[in-house]
Structure 1
Amino acid sequence: MTSSFDLIVIGTGSAGASVAQACRQEGWNVAIVDEREYGGTCALRGCDPKKVLVGAAELVDRTARLQGKGMTDRANINWNDLMAFKRTFTDHIPGAHEQKLQDAGIHTWHGQAHFAGEDLIEINGETFQAKHILIATGAAPAPLDVEGEEHLANSDDFLNLEQLPESIVFVGGGYISFEFAHIAARAGAEVHIIHNNHHPLKGFDPDLVDELVEHSRTVGIHIHLNVSLQQIKLLADEADKKRYQLTAAYKQEDGQIDDKRSLLELECGLSVHGAGRAPNIQQLQLEQGGVDYSKKGIAVNEYLQSTSNPRVYAAGDCADSPGLPLTPLAGLEAKTVAHNLLNGNSQTTDYTEMPSVAFTIPSIAAVGLSEEEARKQISHVEVRHMDMSSWYTYKRTNEQAASVKLILDTEQRTILGAHVLSGEAGDLINHFAVAIRLKLTVDDLKKVTFAYPTIASDLGYMLKL
């Protein structure tokens, strides 16, 4: 006899777990399943452990900048000690996370789940019926279709390295590659990034990205733009020390391979996939559940409900929604799903502000409209691009790369978008997120008295009109 549940959740990250708990609190019979450890990407193999490593790399960078300006010794990273410290943030999570769900009365399973019908989920050979199903399976590295692709490590592997190789090549110019490249370079590795066009870090302001690329090169990161990866070859596998060779072809301005230039060949001890992620839904057998999807994820309506199977909802990186693939957005969409499951479809997600940060050193951040988007949508736009490296906030730590670009509506006197490159970008961008969310005008912000000298006290200089 098939067991029945009010809700089956697939995925235990920030979206899945919160919806499961919200529905269980209302008395629903809820089950949750994950093919991996409980806790999701952010807590176990993403944002949180990454930021621990970034913290150490930032300290290395800051002491290096202050040599001859008061500092006499440079900080150095002991990789083994750093990874042991990182594990104090991650090792306890799977057990604690699962226990919390069980204590709430939620049925927990481990295994691969897939649809066996429109309201049927099969797990480890057993079939369960559900009135409602939430897909919250996140994302996974996108397939590259390159010879030797099986030799590529992924972000999970990098965050669990017992020893840091002497040389690393990151494939793709996304935030994973750039963040990890900055960590590895500060830890003493030779680092290369290869990217298939002239525009890495898609989603961030191109002018600030250019500044970051140039600064990254000054700290020893080799960045190869407009090259196409052709092959990854394993050269040696002795005593746990592997050697790889990556071959890439240079591209012309029109995107075609430039046959007149020699191939780029790089040897390394580790090659890492950083060329984007895709919705983690291939294993779900969605066709059997009548669930429509695209390469962007589960097709959903404004209520985050499947457009083809009303029993099914999706949230987070696996949903084809307007939300960026970020943990706070997954949490935001989870609140929408929980409300609509419990109360009927009556709530949509407000994506007014979606702050995003790549934790390079310095960081790059964005919120609101890009310059290109603003100029297309609004006629009365002012763009303010300011170099802040001479400002006290950055000069006191000898930070060489610090700039901001603000997109302003001169008629409404509001902030349409903000883009920041600096060691303080992650905090500064949140002030602009508040302004965009609350529709504060430039004059509203200038009325605020900020503590001085602080990051926020620079807002007044940025907003002079």
Structure 2
Amino acid sequence: MNVAKLTSGLSTRVAASASPGGPGGDFDFDLFTIGAGSGGVRGSRFAASYGAKVAVCELPFDYVSSETRGGVGGTCVLRGCVPKKLMVYASEYADDFRHAAGFGWSVPTEGLQHSWTSFIEAKRKELQRLNNAYKNTLGNAKVTLLEGRGRVVDPHTVEVDGRRYSAKNILIAVGGKPSKLDIPGAELCITSDEALELPECPRKVAVLGGGYIAVEFSGIFARMGAEVHTVYRQPLPLRGFDGEVRKFAAEQYAAAGLVLHPELTPQSVSRQLDGRLSLVVARSDGSTEVLQDLDQVLMATGRVPKTDGLGLAEAGVELGPKGQVLVDEYCRTAVPSIWAVGDVIDRIQLTPVALMEGMAVAKSVALNQLTQPDYWAVPSAVFSNPEIATVGYTEEAASARFGDLDIYTASFRPMRNTVSGSPLRTFMKIVVDAASQKVVGMHMVGAEAAEIMQGFAVAVKVGVTKAQLDSVVGIHPSAAEEFVTMRSVSRKVRREVPANPVAPAPATAAA
């Protein structure tokens, strides 16, 4: 990943010309963090461990976020990664029961029932435990926790519910929130927040969006027995992922039971006489289609930074078109004493990235060591059905960056599925820079993809070559061994050279 592109055009002169910290003088805190999500908690507690006096403010806890409710732990812990993965686990049991017959188990299909209420209660109990655990983590680190809504007054002042505190440095870590399409009937739709707190599993649901949140919830509801219609504007879901992965994943989603509606644009949602919902979608030619009798319409149509009302612009902080905080390579804003990490800067919206950024800021403000987060080879996963995991470049991005590539692919039906009867297949891909023979991208669609990719991400991060990957002995029988046994190039991608290349004109002084 090109870090220069992540700076949003903000000059690095601010960080280069000023040492960490504000001007001299007495402050209530060395660092005041607004937002106690993953990045805010990590940055705060490590800054405290380095000797800084630190405070964090966060809204009171609730399962669904709002302008007045939040909770220590933030999006990932309370209404993102953790509860979503718990829902994935719950839905996977449905597949396990169905597939057990292939291995000789007799599972009573008629009497098999799932208590959605019991699951939600168990999920809530775990979130309460995590919320308290994060509070204890801050307390053990000697970080002052203030409950309330924080607002930046000036470069060295934060106000929390009317009370003001001075700070040498301020860290913005408020994260993001779900956004809805601006269409008639949007108020009838739910977002991922409400999807995690539904009183019952919908029988028929439309999921709007083709990103990772959309395909994850689509898979969850489908496994739980719902009729799921996934609607997205692009020809394929998961824009930004490797093109071959997107195509394969779409095929597998359909095989897993999703009803896919590509290249459709939602127009309106309305309430039927029986209380259920109708969704009108439009094709590119202007014709429309109506999806009726929906229990829920989930808008998984992106997230936006929660910067409204924080006073950032008034304090001199530059914001982007989506409201994201613009920072340099050190996560520092145009105001030298104000920093920002996590989803609010809209670089890579992943919890481990926010943790890395928080650590970097902690070192910058508490140890006086300007530290850059390293965005190269950040692995990620999509917990859809089937699962997706990736690290490094897509083929498209690698072709633009390196030109000549060697591509290795494998597609197969996993051993478990050959016996269970599941139609799902696994796909693996290795992208190699032909010149250096370094592996610059790895991608997988299939069961346990995230667990497998985490280890291979280490190899890509440190610059493994294809020959070194080939020298590794595989673990047999496993799906993971396929990554170290692909010997034949599936195809070679080579930079096109014009038949009669024209020499570039010599540079001029004006140029």
Q: TM-score, normalised by structure 2?
A: 0.82
Superposed displacement of residue 179, structure 1? 0.7
Q: 1:52 aligns with which of 81, 86, 98?
A: 86
Superposed displacement of residue 331, structure 1? 0.8
Q: Give the fraction of aligned pairs with identical amino acids, expressed as a percent.
A: 30
Query: Match for residue 311 of structure 1?
Result: 337
Query: Match for residue 278 of structure 2?
Result: 245
Superposed displacement of residue 26, structure 1? 3.1
Conserved? CA contact 1:246–1:267, under 8 Å: no
Q: Are 2:168 and 1:168 aligned? A: no
Query: Match for residue 424 of structure 1?
Result: 448
Cα offsets for 1:396-451 (capped at 9, x unmatched): 55552211122112332221111111112112222331111111122222333343
Conserved? CA contact 2:431–2:439, under 8 Å: yes
- Secondary structure of 1:282's partner? coil
Query: Match for residue 96 of structure 1?
Result: 133
Q: Are 2:258 and 1:225 aligned? A: no
Query: Match for residue 351 of structure 2?
Result: 327
Q: Partner letter of residue 22 of structure 1?
A: F
Of stretches 32-41 and 439-448 in structure 1, the one that deviates more from structure 2 is: 439-448
Q: Partner letter of residue 92 of structure 2?
A: E
Q: Partner letter of residue 74 of structure 2?
A: G
Q: 2:190 aligns with which of 147, 153, 159?
A: 153
Conserved? CA contact 1:300–1:320, under 8 Å: no
Conserved? CA contact 2:408–2:488, under 8 Å: no
Pairing 1:169-184 to 2, within 5 Å after superposition: 169-184=206-221
Q: Are 2:328 and 1:301 aligned? A: yes
Higher RCO (C-alpha 8 Å, min separation 6): 2
Query: Match for residue 447 of structure 1?
Result: 471
Conserved? CA contact 1:142–1:278, under 8 Å: yes
CA distance in 2, matches of 1:285, 1:421: 43
Conserved? CA contact 2:102–2:420, under 8 Å: no
Cα offsets for 1:120-150 (capped at 9, x unmatched): 2222122222110001111111242222222
CA distance in 1, matches of 2:411, 2:54: 53
Q: Are 2:28 and 1:4 aligned? A: yes
Moved over 6 A (4+): none
Query: Match for residue 480 of structure 2?
Result: 456
Conserved? CA contact 2:103–2:419, under 8 Å: no
Pairing 1:57-96 to 2, within 5 Å after superposition: 57-65=91-99, 67-73=101-107, 77-96=114-133
Query: Match for residue 347 of structure 1?
Result: 371
Query: Match for residue 110 of structure 1?
Result: 147
Cα offsets for 1:227-271 (capped at 9, x unmatched): 11111223369xxxx5222222112xxxxxx23x23333331112
Superposed displacement of residue 3, structure 1? 7.5
Q: Which of these two proteins has the greater Rg computed from alpha carbons?
A: 2
Conserved? CA contact 1:278–1:295, under 8 Å: no
- CA separation of 1:395/1:234 partners in 2, compared to 1, >3 Å: closer, same or farther? same
Query: Match for residue 130 of structure 1?
Result: 167
CA distance in 1, matches of 2:76, 2:43: 17
Query: Match for residue 373 of structure 1?
Result: 397
Query: Match for residue 255 of structure 1?
Result: none
Conserved? CA contact 2:427–2:445, under 8 Å: yes
Give the superposed CA RMSD: 2.3
Q: Partner letter of residue 288 of structure 1?
A: E
- Secondary structure of 1:217's partner? helix
Q: 1:39 aligns with which of 59, 70, 73?
A: 73
CA distance in 2, matches of 1:161, 1:50: 13
Of stretches 359-368 and 422-431 in structure 1, the one that deviates more from structure 2 is: 422-431
- Secondary structure of 1:188's partner? coil
Larger relative strand fraction: 1
CA distance in 1, matches of 2:75, 2:161: 22
Flag structure 1 segments of 5+ consecutive residues without an equivalent: 252-257
Conserved? CA contact 1:3–1:127, under 8 Å: no
CA distance in 2, matches of 1:151, 1:353: 40
Superposed displacement of residue 273, structure 1? 1.8
Cα offsets for 1:83-115 (capped at 9, x unmatched): 233233212222332233234332212222222
Conserved? CA contact 1:56–1:77, under 8 Å: no
CA distance in 1, matches of 2:393, 2:327: 24
Superposed displacement of residue 21, structure 1? 0.9
Conserved? CA contact 2:28–2:166, under 8 Å: yes
The size of the alignment, in residue pairs, is 449
Q: Partner letter of residue 28 of structure 2?
A: S
CA distance in 2, matches of 1:464, 1:221: 34
Conserved? CA contact 1:169–1:192, under 8 Å: yes
Q: Are 2:54 and 1:30 aligned? A: yes
Cα offsets for 1:300-336 (capped at 9, x unmatched): 1111100x10111111111144xx2111111111111
CA distance in 2, matches of 1:371, 1:335: 31
